[in-house]
């Protein structure tokens, strides 16, 4: 059996689509500013990669406004399909592409600013490392890639998503985690 360790980048591009817009760059800047605020306040933090599922009809709103917490959606007068708030109101994300994929047919790979539960970094983590993370502030999360939910259930799709996850995490480590780690201590990241 042949095991393919790394899919060529051209194959990854056929599986996932970037969600870039000028508004996304402004939101990523706000995310970086929030990370700096956490670090300067000695709150434990880490910038990492997660997954979020939604309904395809929410895509345009996410491109326009970003992922919004229920409170931010109410404040902006945006209505959306409600899927619950068992762990509190916020943006629900998972650590792997298969967790909680039943919430919608559109998968998003997201950048997350996470803190340790109870550290006032506005996050709740529940379950095993592959389980849910709830971000309470919209500024803690930005969608960067989209993919159909069905992709996570195929061998090559899962490989492509895992490779995207690794590449994006390397970028976050180089651009966000390592530079500030020289001045501040980020929290340990869970194993995927």
Contacts of 17 (CB under 8 A, 6+ apart): 145, 146, 147
C-alpha distances in Å from residue 178, one per residue of 72, 78, 96, 173, 191: 31, 37, 23, 6, 18
pLDDT digits (tens, 9 = 90+) for 166-183: 999 998 888 888 766 555
Distance CA 162, CA 143 (A): 16
CA-based nearest residue to 158, from 92, 93, 96, 95: 96
- Using a pLDDT cut of 90, give the percent of the chain over it: 11
pLDDT tier, 46 (very low <50, low <70, confident <90, very high otherwise) = confident
pLDDT of residue 81: 66
pLDDT of residue 37: 83
- pLDDT (average), residues 43-64: 87
Strands 132-135, 123-125: pairing kind: antiparallel
For the cut 60, the answer to whether the pLDDT of residue 67 exceeds it is yes
Q: Is the pTM of this model over 0.75?
A: yes
Contacts of 161 (CB under 8 A, 6+ apart): 15, 16, 97, 107, 109, 147, 151, 152
pLDDT digits (tens, 9 = 90+) for 92-119: 888 888 877 878 899 999 999 887 554 4
Distance CA 192, CA 73 (A): 30
For the cut 70, the answer to whether the pLDDT of residue 28 exceeds it is yes
């Amino acid at each position: 059996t042949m095991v393919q360790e790394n899919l060529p980048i051209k194959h990854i591009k056929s599986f996932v689509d970037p969600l870039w817009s000028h508004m996304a760059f402004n939101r990523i800047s706000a995310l970086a500013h929030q990370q700096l605020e956490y670090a300067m306040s000695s709150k434990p933090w880490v910038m990492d990669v997660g997954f979020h599922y939604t309904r395809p009809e929410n895509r345009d709103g996410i491109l326009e406004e970003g992922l919004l917490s229920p409170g931010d959606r109410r404040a902006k007068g945006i209505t959306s399909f409600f899927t619950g708030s068992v762990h509190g109101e916020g943006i629900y994300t998972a650590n792997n592409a298969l967790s909680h994929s039943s919430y919608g047919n559109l998968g998003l790979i997201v950048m997350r600013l996470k803190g340790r539960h109870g550290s006032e970094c506005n996050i709740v983590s529940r379950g095993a490392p592959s389980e849910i993370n709830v971000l309470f502030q919209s500024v803690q999360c930005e969608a960067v890639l989209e993919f159909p939910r069905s992709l996570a259930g195929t061998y090559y799709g899962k490989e492509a998503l895992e490779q995207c996850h690794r590449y994006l995490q390397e970028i976050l480590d180089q651009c966000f985690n390592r530079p500030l780690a020289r001045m501040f201590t980020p929290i340990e990241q869970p194993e995927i």
